[in-house]
Chain A
Amino acid sequence: MAEKKAESKTPLLTRRDVLKIGGATGATVLLSQGILLGPWSPDAIEGIHRESEASTEHEWHMGIDLSKCIGCHYCVWACQATNDVPRDEMRWNVGFPERTENGVDFFMTRPCLHCQEAPCVKVCPVGATWVREDGIVAMDYDRCIGCRYCEVACPYDVRRFNWDVVEDENQYHPTWGEPEVERRPRGVIEKCTFCVHRIDRGLAHGLTPGVDPQATPACVAICPVNARVFGDAKDPSSPISKFLAENETFRLREDFGTEPKVHYVRPSREEV
Chain B
Amino acid sequence: MAAGQLATRPSTNNNLPIRLWYALLVTMIGVGLVGMFQVLWNGLEVTNLTDRVPWGLWITHDLSAIGLGAGAFTFSAVVYLFRIKRFAPIARAAVFIGFLGYTSAMLALAMDIGRPDRFWHPLVYWNVHSVLWEITMCVIFYSTVLVIEFLPILFENPVFARWPKLGKFGHKLHALTPILAVIGLGLSLLHQSSLGATYGVLSGREIWFKPSMPVLFILSAVAGGVSLTLLATMIVWKITGREVIDKYLRRDIARLAAGALSAYLYLKIWDWAATSYYSHAPGTADALARLAATTPYTRSFWLIEVLLGAVVPIIILLNQPLRRRHGVFMVGLALAVFGVIVNRWNVTLSGLIVPPEWSPGVLGNIVAAAYLPSWTELSVSLGILGYALLAFTLGVRHLSIYPKEGEDTHA
Judge whether A119 and B202 touch: CB under 8 Å.
Answer: yes
Tell me whether B407 is interfacial, beta carbon within 8 Å: no
Judge whether A153 and B204 touch: CB under 8 Å.
Answer: yes
Among B43, B135, B359, contact of A163 (Cβ-Cβ < 8 Å) = B43
Instruction: Please indicate the chain A residues that have their CB under 8 angstroms from the CB of B357 in the complex.
Output: 253
Tell me whether A227 is interfacial, beta carbon within 8 Å: no
Tell me whether A155 is interfacial, beta carbon within 8 Å: yes
Q: Give the interface centre of B49, B203, B355 by most chain A CB atoms within 10 Å.
A: B203
Instruction: Please indicate the chain A residues that have their CB under 8 angstroms from the CB of B52 in the complex.
Output: 157
Among B55, B114, B203, B359, contact of A186 (Cβ-Cβ < 8 Å) = B114
Give Cα A42–Cα B130 distance, bound, in whole angstroms.
11
Tell me whether B122 is interfacial, beta carbon within 8 Å: yes
Judge whether B198 and A149 touch: CB under 8 Å.
Answer: yes
B179 CB to closest chain A CB (Å) equals: 19
Among A40, A157, A163, contact of B128 (Cβ-Cβ < 8 Å) = A40
Dominant secondary structure at the A interface:
loop
Judge whether A163 and B49 touch: CB under 8 Å.
Answer: yes
Stretch at the interface among A17-25, A120-128, A230-238: A120-128
Judge whether B113 and A147 touch: CB under 8 Å.
Answer: yes
Instruction: Please indicate the chain A residues that have their CB under 8 angstroms from the CB of B356 in the complex.
Output: 155-156, 253, 256
Instruction: Please indicate the chain A residues that have their CB under 8 angstroms from the CB of B127 in the complex.
Output: 48, 124-127
Among A125, A126, A151, contact of B51 (Cβ-Cβ < 8 Å) = A151
Judge whether B130 and A258 touch: CB under 8 Å.
Answer: no
Judge whether A155 and B125 touch: CB under 8 Å.
Answer: no
Give Cα A147–Cα B135 distance, bound, in whole angstroms.
13
Judge whether B202 and A99 touch: CB under 8 Å.
Answer: no
Give Cα A220–Cα B290 distance, bound, in whole angstroms.
35
Tell me whether B292 is interfacial, beta carbon within 8 Å: no
A270 CB to closest chain B CB (Å) equals: 16
Give Cα A252–Cα B204 distance, bound, in whole angstroms.
11
Judge whether B115 and A146 touch: CB under 8 Å.
Answer: yes
B360 CB to closest chain A CB (Å) equals: 7
B262 CB to closest chain A CB (Å) equals: 31
Judge whether B130 and A96 touch: CB under 8 Å.
Answer: no
Using A157-B358, A163-B44, A163-B45 as known contacts, say yes or no to A187 and B129 having CB atoms under 8 A apart: no
Residue of A nearest to B119 (CB): A145
Judge whether A148 and B54 touch: CB under 8 Å.
Answer: yes
Stretch at the interface among B69-77, B265-273, B324-332, B361-369: B361-369
Judge whether B54 and A101 touch: CB under 8 Å.
Answer: no
Digitize B197-217: 1 where CB-to-A-CB distance is under 8 Å, 0 elsewhere. Answer: 010011111000000000000
Tell me whether A180 is interfacial, beta carbon within 8 Å: no
Tell me whether B112 is interfacial, beta carbon within 8 Å: yes
Digitize B120-134: 1 where CB-to-A-CB distance is under 8 Å, 0 elsewhere. Answer: 011001111111110
How many A-B contacts if CB must be within 8 Å? 169
Digitize B31-71: 1 where CB-to-A-CB distance is under 8 Å, 0 elsewhere. Answer: 00000000000111101010110110000000000000000
Judge whether B360 and A152 touch: CB under 8 Å.
Answer: no
Judge whether B198 and A162 touch: CB under 8 Å.
Answer: no
A263 CB to closest chain B CB (Å) equals: 12
- The interface size bin for chain B is 35 or more
A191 CB to closest chain B CB (Å) equals: 10
Judge whether B360 and A145 touch: CB under 8 Å.
Answer: no
Instruction: Please indicate the chain A residues that have their CB under 8 angstroms from the CB of B125 in the complex.
Output: 126-128, 143
Tell me whether A106 is interfacial, beta carbon within 8 Å: yes
Using A100-B360, A108-B360, A153-B202 as known contacts, say yes or no to A161 and B131 having CB atoms under 8 A apart: no
A132 CB to closest chain B CB (Å) equals: 15
Tell me whether A206 is interfacial, beta carbon within 8 Å: no
A residues 176-190 in Cβ contact with B at 8 Å: 186-189
B residues 247-284 in Cβ contact with A at 8 Å: 283
Judge whether B204 and A155 touch: CB under 8 Å.
Answer: yes
Tell me whether B5 is interfacial, beta carbon within 8 Å: no
Q: Give the interface centre of A90, A157, A257, A267 by most chain B CB atoms within 10 Å.
A: A157
A residues 221-261 in Cβ contact with B at 8 Å: 250, 252-253, 255-258
Tell me whether B299 is interfacial, beta carbon within 8 Å: no
Give Cα A250–Cα B45 distance, bound, in whole angstroms.
37
Using A119-B204, A151-B51 as known contacts, say yes or no to A187 and B115 having CB atoms under 8 A apart: yes
A43 CB to closest chain B CB (Å) equals: 10
Judge whether A253 and B54 touch: CB under 8 Å.
Answer: no
Tell me whether A194 is interfacial, beta carbon within 8 Å: no
A157 CB to closest chain B CB (Å) equals: 6
Using A186-B114, A253-B204 as known contacts, say yes or no to A157 and B355 having CB atoms under 8 A apart: yes
Using A48-B129, A164-B42 as known contacts, say yes or no to A108 and B361 having CB atoms under 8 A apart: yes
A residues 111-168 in Cβ contact with B at 8 Å: 119, 122-128, 143-149, 151-157, 159-165
Judge whether A147 and B112 touch: CB under 8 Å.
Answer: yes
Give Cα A153–Cα B55 distance, bound, in whole angstroms.
11
Give Cα A149–Cα B128 distance, bound, in whole angstroms.
15
Judge whether A161 and B51 touch: CB under 8 Å.
Answer: yes
Judge whether A187 and B51 touch: CB under 8 Å.
Answer: no
Give Cα A248–Cα B70 distance, bound, in whole angstroms.
54
B247 CB to closest chain A CB (Å) equals: 43
Tell me whether B136 is interfacial, beta carbon within 8 Å: yes
Q: Which residues of B contact A (CB under 8 A)?
A: 42-45, 47, 49, 51-52, 54-55, 112-115, 118-119, 121-122, 125-133, 135-136, 198, 201-205, 283, 351-352, 355-363, 365-366
Complex A-B: 24 CB contacts under 8 Å: A48-B129, A89-B51, A96-B359, A99-B361, A110-B359, A123-B132, A125-B133, A127-B125, A144-B115, A146-B113, A147-B132, A148-B55, A148-B114, A149-B132, A153-B202, A161-B44, A163-B43, A164-B45, A165-B43, A187-B114, A187-B115, A253-B204, A256-B204, A267-B360
9 smallest CB-CB distances across A and B, nearest first, come from A146-B114, A155-B204, A187-B114, A98-B361, A164-B45, A148-B54, A125-B133, A127-B127, A125-B132
Can you name 17 extra interface pairs (CB under 8 A) apart from A100-B362, A125-B130, A187-B113?
Answer: A40-B129, A48-B129, A119-B202, A125-B135, A146-B115, A147-B132, A149-B130, A151-B51, A152-B351, A152-B352, A159-B51, A187-B43, A187-B44, A187-B114, A252-B359, A253-B358, A267-B360
Q: Which residues of A contact B (CB under 8 A)?
A: 39-40, 42, 44-45, 48, 66, 89-90, 96-101, 106, 108, 110, 119, 122-128, 143-149, 151-157, 159-165, 186-189, 250, 252-253, 255-258, 264, 266-267
